[in-house]
Amino acid sequence: MKKIITVAGARPNFMKIAPIDRAFKNFAPEYEHLIVHTGQHYDDIMSKSFFKILDISEPAYHLNVGSGSHAVQTAKVMIEFEKVCIEEKPDLVIVVGDVNSTVACAITAKKLHIPVAHIEAGLRSFDMAMPEEINRKITDSISNIAFLTEPSGKANLLKEGWESKNMHLVGNTMIDSLCYIMPQLEKSDILEKLNLSEPFAILTMHRPSNVDDREQLTSLVNILEQTAKKINLVFPIHPRTKAKINEFGLSKFLEVNGITFCDALNYLDFMTLLNNSKFVLTDSGGIQEEAAFLRKPCVTLRENTERPITCKTGSNILVGNDSDKIINAVNNAISSDGNNIAAVSDLWDGKAAERIVKIIIDMENNL
């Protein structure tokens, strides 16, 4: 029997591990697949709801690390995950994405001589001011196997000294989850609940570079107020953003006309909104991919992206915090019928996790 541990910690991890968990079920009991939840995100809406909606197995371990500074959070995950690795002696640790839990568990496993597989490897924004870029680079530099979502990942890892034989372009497990949930979207009542009439656009914003700086957040808030005069916006607010809006005395923004505010949403409700939206304004990484897959225009409130394939399809445009660029992109998105947006990749087909698990099992003797 082989034992595999997959780690999940924060909201954007859960949809990436769900199809991996499902795919390993076909190989039980020869393969024991354990989920470790670090507890980086802990609220029902940021965590538990995803397990329920995506039918993810109950984690074998909850590390309950909670919020904290980067150092505190990363260190706490390492301390707790080391105990799990020593107890369980897994043959492989799988980490996904680029959050603090990803890098913490990769380092911990590697120092115990446990091989590490990184799903969503090789993505680079080339912006070391982003905590996620640091996490991505460190995780990739010590991983044994890289599973790639897009060709840029391979080019980046080759430049960083990886050998082709250890890299596998498999597609996107986050899109696997989107394919899984699509037939269930009609179960969501979020459109009625928020009393939304179409057309509307979705807004999400939580990146430290946009919301942690008073001047930057104030400027974005002003631009968004202007945007809301052109099209209704729905803004599910991340806890970090809500706290900063209040801290910087911008709470009047939460009453502005043309913007429907709500708390962070569960996966089913968010995907229902996205699927019915005209376009999306975001600083998220994953939403750029989800929008591209659904062939929606995506106006990205960042200067760079680690997911360049989303720009190549014609879905995504990077506008930073430049008000002229934002207004221009919003005008184009309002008048777009989506026909100019190409499909992302044949590999974004809902079956990436099956490919990943097959590769891991084929490599069994090397584990």
Q: Which residues bind ligand UD1 (CB under 6 A)?
A: 10-12, 40-43, 46-47, 67, 99-100, 131-132, 206, 238-240
Question: Please, what is the minimum distance in Å from the beta carbon of residue 48 to ligand UD1?
Answer: 10
Q: Is 262 exposed, middle or buried (0-12, 13-18, 19+ CB in 10 A)?
A: middle
> Taken in order 320, 160, 145, 142, is the CA torsion positive or negative?
negative
Q: What is the dihedral of CA 359, 362, 364, 367, to 10 degrees?
A: -40
Tell me whether residue 105 or residue 190 sits nearer to ligand UD1 (CB atom).
105
Question: Please, what is the minimum distance in Å from the beta carbon of residue 337 to ligand UD1?
Answer: 30
The DSSP bridge partners found for residue 94 are 6, 117
Question: Please, what is the minimum distance in Å from the beta carbon of residue 135 to ligand UD1?
Answer: 6
Catalytic residues: 206
Tell me whether residue 100 or residue 315 sits nearer to ligand UD1 (CB atom).
100
Q: H/E/C letters for each residue in 104-120?
A: HHHHHHHHCCCCEEEEC
5 with 84: CB under 8 angstroms?
Answer: yes
Our measurement of the distance from residue 272's CA atom to the centroid of its chain's CA atoms, rounded to an integer in Å, reads 17
Question: Please, what is the minimum distance in Å from the beta carbon of residue 172 to ligand UD1?
Answer: 16
Tell me whether residue 9 or residue 115 sits nearer to ligand UD1 (CB atom).
9
What are the Cα distances from residue 135, in Å, to 45, 68, 138, 279?
Answer: 24, 16, 5, 29
Tell me whether residue 238 or residue 278 sits nearer to ligand UD1 (CB atom).
238
